[in-house]
Structure 1
């Protein structure tokens, strides 16, 4: 269990309940919250804080649940505000409201738009990227981001076990680089972790 201060535990628990209720009601995937499972979110927090990540990009904001976890981790590592990309204006507005309630609005910059186009325009550098949006286009986003990654960059991708066919191209692309150590952790829907080896 991760111990967060202030009102964060209650806010996160509330978002978990609301997200689960919403996803049961909605038929269209675009209307679902599709939040991370708590164990996956806690693993993200531990990975970011233990590796002292300070420049993080998240692809797929939804209602801001995972952004709250990542921003809390960045606050601990004294990093820069999280950059997070969301295609849906409605979800982006939800995320901003939830981040404000969590008093983390200064620790997150929500970017609305197509993730692949936004990734092409961002300057970087990033020492951690979390892929949690359209799994099929993740490999295209990776192509744009590779020149903008630090030498020990950490790449994280959700849904590695729940949607193996959709994420296969991304995983194949990462492993073909032969510069990353990789592992898939059976937590939540499956978290693929890749860390670039430092060049000697």
Structure 2
């Protein structure tokens, strides 16, 4: 990883990612898979957050906390991450990983159905990363719109790997006339939208 990230944290992330890959290779049930973010995509998100100094971040899809660690490190000591996942077991793992990374204090882990959790969030958020149930993302985006900073950045993974599933989200983004949007062919395809 070509970043200024401390080597200890780089090694921890590499270990978490490799463990996640091994776990998924021997797990049949999709809901039990970790499905961790691709390292290249995580690095792009980190660069976006650091270069634009994002501090109030919402992540939909915590899993084992791999991407959450990247987001929290990128946001710095003044940043805060709210991360949602419906699987309590994954949150327990994320909690342990965040503690190992020394970033637990910067993250609030919220367990439950993301759409229902989002209904009760106040924000404001300046960065949102969708990486969970792609079919629910349009409804979640609609609920979040009143709680976003003016210059918010919205990102979503799996644009190229699951085009049919994420089509509704991309249509919802396209309908927002004040947003610029592009898809980066990194990892499984990263959607980036920015309110101009």
Question: What's the TM-score, normalizing by structure 2?
Answer: 0.97
- Structure 1 unaligned segments of length 5 or more: list them: none
- In structure 2, what is the Cα distance between the partners aligned to 1:187 and 1:160? 10
Could you say which residue in structure 2 is the equivalent of 1:174?
173
Q: Which residue of 1 aligns with 2:27?
A: 26
Q: How far, CA to CA, are the matches of 1:90 and 1:62 in structure 2?
A: 9
- Counterpart check, 1:61 vs 2:62: yes
Is contact 1:96-1:105 (8 Å) kept? Answer: yes
> Any idea what the Cα deviations from partners look like across 1:36-91, whole Å, max 9, x if unmatched?
1111000000000001111100000000000000000111xx53321000100000
1:29-178 residue pairs with structure 2 within 5 A? 29-75=30-76, 78-178=77-177
Task: Name the CA distance, whole Å, in 2 between partners of 1:144 and 1:35.
Answer: 25
Aligned-residue offset at 1:5: 1.4
Aligned-residue Cα RMSD (Å) equals: 0.9
1:10 offset after TM fit, Å?
Answer: 1.1
Q: Is the 8 A contact 2:71 2:81 kept in 1?
A: yes
Unaligned runs of at least 5 residues, structure 2: none
Moved over 2 A (4+): none
TM-score (norm 1): 0.95
Distance 1:142 1:170 in 2: 8
Confirm or deny that 1:17 pairs with 2:18. Answer: yes
Cα offsets for 1:23-46 (capped at 9, x unmatched): 100111111111111110000000
- Cα distance in 1 for residues equivalent to 2:166 and 2:118: 18
- Separation (CA, whole Å) in 2 of partners of 1:128 and 1:3: 21
Measure the CA separation in 1 of the matches of 2:87 and 2:118: 16
